[in-house]
Amino acid sequence: MSANGAASAAPVTWLEAWARPEGGARVREAFRARFGTEPDGVWSAPGRVNVIGEHTDYNGGLCMPMALPHRTYVALRRREDDTVRLASAQEAAGGVWTRRLADVAPGTVEGWAGYVVGVAWALAQAAHPVPGFDAVVDSCVPYGAGLSSSAALESAFAVALDEVAGIGLAGDDAGRAALAQACIRAENEIAGAMTGGMDQTASLRCRAGHALVLDTRDGSTRHFPFDLAAHGLALLVIDTRAPHQLADGQYAARRATCEAAARTLGVATLRDVGDLEAALALLDDEVARRGVRHVVTEIARVELVEQLLAAGDVDAVGPVLTAAHASLRDDYEVSCPELDLAVDTAILAGALGARMVGGGFGGSAVALVRTDAVGHVAEAVSAAFAAAGRTAPAFLVATPDGPAARD
C-alpha cells in the first residue's frame, strides 16, 4: 500500500520472444565458440499454448493448440562417427554432454540430453538411422511453464536430424506426423516423461496465423485462421512460475484412472463415450466418475470453441475457457492456488474468460482479454500475486507462429 492507501502497482514482467534472425545468430555464435567450426545449419521449433482441450490427448480426444513465437534454436553439425556432443545455454552448468548413439537405450540417459538423443534413437527405431552430431541449444521458451519447452527441444532436433541424415520426412504433413511420433517416443521412452502427443504435433504440424484442432483418435488435424486481434481480443498467457510439484505422479494417476474407466465402460478410449450420464451410472468410484466427466465435457468444449470461432462469435469463447477451468479444478483436480489466483484475478479485472493450461499443478494460465485491457489485466494479476506473497508471474501475448523448420 502507498501512503494514500492505493495498492502500489506491481511491476509486470513480459516474456519476450526473440526475432528468428536473433535466435539463429545467437545459437550459431554459441556453436562456433563451443566447437570452433561452423554448424551445418540452424533449426528452430516453437513452444505451444493450448487454447482448449486439456488432458484429452491421451483419451483419444480433441485439443486446440497453437504455436508460440517463443522458439528453441539448435545449431547442429553432422559427424562422421556416432558420437553426440551437446550443450545448452539453459543447462550451462552441465558443460558438454557426450555419448555414443549406440549406447542410447531406455533407462540409460539422465537429464535434458534424453530429449535430444531420444529423437535420434526413435528415428533409428523407425528405420531412419542418424549419424552422430555436435549441437548447441538456446531457447526463449520458458522451462516447465506448461508451454512445452520439451517438445520444442525435440522438434527442433527432429527437423535438424531429418535434414542432415537425408531422411526427408519434414517436407510434408504425413512425414511431420512421423517425426512427431519419434519425438513422443523420445520423451516417453528415453527422457522418461509421460506425454500425450499434442505438444509435438503442435510444434511440428502447426501453421503460422492458425490454430490447430488435433483429433488424437486418428491423428488428423484441422487448421483454421486464428486472428484474435481482428476481433479486438488477445490471448494473454500468464506463467505463474509455480513449480510443477507432484505433476508427474499425478499425471500418471489421472491417466491410469481414465484408462481403467474406459475398460470398465468397454470403450477403447473415453472419446468413445457417447452418453455421459449413462457412463457415469456405470462407474462406482467417485474419482473415476469425475475424471470421465472432465474428459467428456472437455472434448465437447473443444467442439464448441471451434464452432464459435468459425461463426466469428469470439467473445463467447471466454465463458467456455472459464468452464474448462472449473472442470480442471473441481472434477479433474489438477489446479493449484497460483493457477486459481491467476484465473480468478484475470476475470475480476475484466478478462472474458480464463483457465489453467498444460498438465496442471503449476505452469501457465490463459485469459481471453480485450486488446486494450491486456496491460490492466497483467497488472492486476501481478499485484494479486505480490499481495499473496507469491513469486512474480510473467506474461506473453500468444500469436500463432509457424512450425519447426530450418532458419
23 contacts ligand ADP (rule: CB under 6 A): no
Orientation of helix 173-185 relative to helix 198-205, angle to 10°:
140
Place of cell 535434458: 112
If the CB atoms of residues 14 and 143 are measured against ligand ADP, the closer one turns out to be 143
Three-class SS of residue 165? coil
Residue 3 · residue 55 · CB < 8 Å? no
Please state the closest distance from residue 364 (CB atom) to ligand ADP, in A. Answer: 9
Query: Does residue 139 interact with ligand ADP by CB under 6 A?
Result: yes
50 contacts 290 by C-beta, under 8 angstroms: no
Looking at 57, 82, 162, 199, which residue is catalytic?
A: 199
Q: Which three cell numbers stand for residue 136?
A: 548447441
Please state, in angstroms and as integers, the Cα–Cα distance from residue 382 to each residue in 228, 343, 353, 354, following that order. 23, 12, 18, 16
Nearer CB in complex with ligand ADP: 88/399:
88
CA dihedral angle for residue 137, residue 140, residue 144, residue 150, rounded to 10 degrees: -40
Show the cell assigned to 229: 486481434
* 153 makes contact with ligand ADP (CB under 6 A): yes
Are the C-beta atoms of residues 20 and 407 closer than 8 Å to each other? yes
**For this structure, is 199 an active site residue?**
yes
Using the rule CB under 6 A, is 327 a contact of ligand ADP?
no
The contact pattern for ligand ADP, residues 165-204, with x = CB under 6 A and - = no contact, is ----------------------------x-----------
Task: For residues 383 and 389, give the distance between their C-alpha atoms in angstroms, rounded to a whole number.
Answer: 10
Q: State the minimum distance, in angstroms, from the CB of residue 284 to ligand ADP.
A: 34
Nearer to Mg ion by Cβ, of 59 and 195: the residue is 195
For ligand ADP, which residue of 112, 226, 332, 395 counts as binding (CB under 6 A)?
112
- Report in angstroms how near the CB of residue 324 gets to Mg ion at its nearest: 20
Q: How far is the CB of 36 from ligand ADP (least distance, A)?
A: 21
Residue 150 binding Mg ion, by CB under 5 A: yes
Which residues of the shown chain bind Mg ion in the complex (CB under 5 A)? 148, 150
